Structure 1
C-alpha cells in the first residue's frame, strides 16, 4: 500500500495476491487470483461480475481494463476457452487495456521460444485491436535460476507508443514477479496509470 501511495497510482492489477484488501475498492475474478484495485482518483464506472476463471474487467475513465491470471495448470483447451471468453468480452469495447500473468511464452515478447499457449494467445489476440506494450527481453518472473517473460500488457491500438509508457520497476514486491508500471493516454491527457 505504501508503494501505491508513493507512486500515486490510480489502478493496480494483481495476479495471485498474497492477501485481499476487503476495505478497498477491490474486484476479483471467481478464483480471487485476478484483481483490479481502484486506489486513486479514478473510480470504477462499471464492473464485469465475471463468473469465469482468469479475468476481471472494469470500466475506468472510459477504458475497459482487464486483469488476467491464467493458471499454469490449465490444459491448452482450458487456456483457449479462457482466451475465447476474454476476447469475446474485449470485442464489445473500443478502448481496452489487458494485462496480467498469462503463463505463456512467445518470441514476440522476448521468450526464447513460442509454446502452444503462446501460439494460442497470439492467435486469439489477432481478433481484437490491441498492441503489446512490453519491450525488451528482461524477465518479468525470476525465481532462483528460472526466469521468463509471462506478464504481458496489451492496449487498444488507439493508445500508440507516443501515448503510452511501459516499464519494469526496480522495487521490492515480495513476489517472484517484477512490478510493471504502465500509463496510457488519449489526446495527450493521461487517463490510466
Structure 2
C-alpha cells in the first residue's frame, strides 16, 4: 500500500503539508524549491516533481525527465508528475502530451497526475475546451481542485491504467495547504491489503489483562488431527480468551513528532501566516492588495521571530541538559544524525576475523552420523520442562503475527499445560 499526494503548490512550501498528511510519495506541480532527503526528481522546466518523502516508499528507478513531466518507477508502479502551464500554445500543449503518452505506452501499472490547465466534461467541467478534447480518469464528483476569488475550476486531474485503477482510492483532501489548489490523495492498494495491514497492527493492552477473565474464557476443545491442526485450535482459543480479557489498542499511528523546538505558539503563528498569505495571493490586483501584503509580511516576521527565539532557547536548554544527562535528548539527536553516515568498510584482517567467527572450524566435531537422531523414537516433554521454558519468556518482547502477548501465552500454558505438552510431543 502506498499513499500518494498530488498538489500544485503554486510556489508554496511543501514539507509541513506532507508531514501533516503523512504521505509516502508526492507528485508536485510548481514547487517552491528543490527538496532534500530521500528521493527527488524534477522535469526539465522544474515545474513538475516527484518526491519520495517517506522511508516507506519503494526505491525509485528508471527516472526520466522531459519538458512538462517527470517519470519514475517505484516498485512495480510507474508514476508521472506533469505540469502544462496555460501559457503554452495549443500545438505545443499537444506535442508535450503526445510525448507523455508515447513514454507511458506499453507500461502496465501507470499513474499520471498533474495540472494540465485543461477543461473537459469527463472530469466535472460544464464545458470542454481544446485542451480537454486532447485528453481522453480517477477524478470523481464535481468539486473544484483550483479556487481563486470565488472562482473555481477542475484542472488537476489523475489518470491510471486499468491494471491498477481498481485498487486506487481517489479523494480530495480538505487539509489546508496555503495554495489555491486542493490536495489530491490516492491510496494505492486493495482494500483486502489495507484490512490485512490494519488487522496486523491491532495490539492488545497487556497492562489491562484480567487474569480471572482470561482463565474463565480459555476453553480449549478436544484436540484432533495432526500437530499443525492442534496448534491452530489452541491458538484460536488463546486469541478468543485475549479478546475477552484485554482491550485492543487504538489504530496504529504513523504520526511523526515535530522538531524539538516546535511549540504551540509557533503553530498558531504559522496558521496566521498561511491565512494572510492566501488572502494576499487571492487579492492580487485589487485595491486591498497593498494592505493584505503588509499584513502578510507582518505575519511572516512574527513567525520567523518565534522560530528564532524558540530554536535559541531550546539549543541552550539542550546544552544544559547534556551536562547533567549525557544520554538525554542531545545524545539522541546526535546519534540520529550519525545513523545517516555510512561506516567505513572493514579492513581485510577484520573481514577474516568476522568470517572465522561466523564459520568456525568444525573438523574437531563428531561425524554427522553421530549427531543424527532416530526420528522413530518417541520424544517426551514433561510439564516441568515446559513450565521452565515458559518462565524464561520476557513480558516485554514483541508478539508474533497472531498478536498474542507473552504474558497471556505464559498464563495459558500454566492453566492447561497438558494441552501444550501433547502437541509438542507430536512434533
TM-score normalised according to structure 2 size: 0.40
Which structure has the larger Rg over C-alpha atoms?
Answer: 2
Q: CA deviation at 1:49?
A: 3.0
Are the equivalent residues in 2 in contact too, given 1:44–1:58 (CA < 8 A)?
Answer: no
Are the equivalent residues in 1 in contact too, given 2:138–2:165 (CA < 8 A)?
Answer: no
The aligned runs of 1:1-193 (5 Å cut-off) are 1-40=15-54, 41-50=56-65, 52-122=66-136, 132-161=137-166, 163-185=167-189, 188-189=192-193
Are the equivalent residues in 2 in contact too, given 1:159–1:186 (CA < 8 A)?
Answer: no
Separation in 2, partners of 1:143, 1:19:
23
Q: 1:116 to 1:165 in 2, by over 3 A?
A: same
Q: CA deviation at 1:66?
A: 0.2
Residues 155-185 of structure 1, C-alpha deviation per residue, up to 9 Å, x if partnerless? 1112244x22111111111111001111122
Q: 1:43 to 1:164 in 2, by over 3 A?
A: closer
Higher helix share: 2
Cα RMSD after superposing both structures: 1.7
Which ranges of structure 2 fall in alignment gaps of 5 or more residues?
1-14, 195-427
Are the equivalent residues in 2 in contact too, given 1:58–1:66 (CA < 8 A)?
Answer: yes
Separation in 2, partners of 1:9, 1:86:
25
Most deviating of 164-173 and 14-23: 14-23
Instruction: Describe the SS at the equivalent of 1:99.
Output: strand
Higher strand share: 1
Separation in 1, partners of 2:174, 2:83:
22
Separation in 2, partners of 1:177, 1:96:
23
Q: CA deviation at 1:20?
A: 2.1
Residues 98-134 of structure 1, C-alpha deviation per residue, up to 9 Å, x if partnerless? 0010100001100110000000112xxxxxxxxx110
Are the equivalent residues in 1 in contact too, given 2:17–2:177 (CA < 8 A)?
Answer: no
Instruction: Describe the SS at the equivalent of 2:118.
Output: coil
Residues 24-72 of structure 1, C-alpha deviation per residue, up to 9 Å, x if partnerless? 521100011001000121244314332x211000001110000000111
Separation in 1, partners of 2:63, 2:102:
13
Separation in 1, partners of 2:25, 2:145:
19
Instruction: Describe the SS at the equivalent of 1:154.
Output: strand
Which ranges of structure 1 fall in alignment gaps of 5 or more residues?
123-131
Q: 1:44 to 1:32 in 2, by over 3 A?
A: farther
Q: CA deviation at 1:22?
A: 3.5
Residue matched to 1:128: none
TM-score normalised according to structure 1 size: 0.86
Separation in 2, partners of 1:135, 1:66:
20
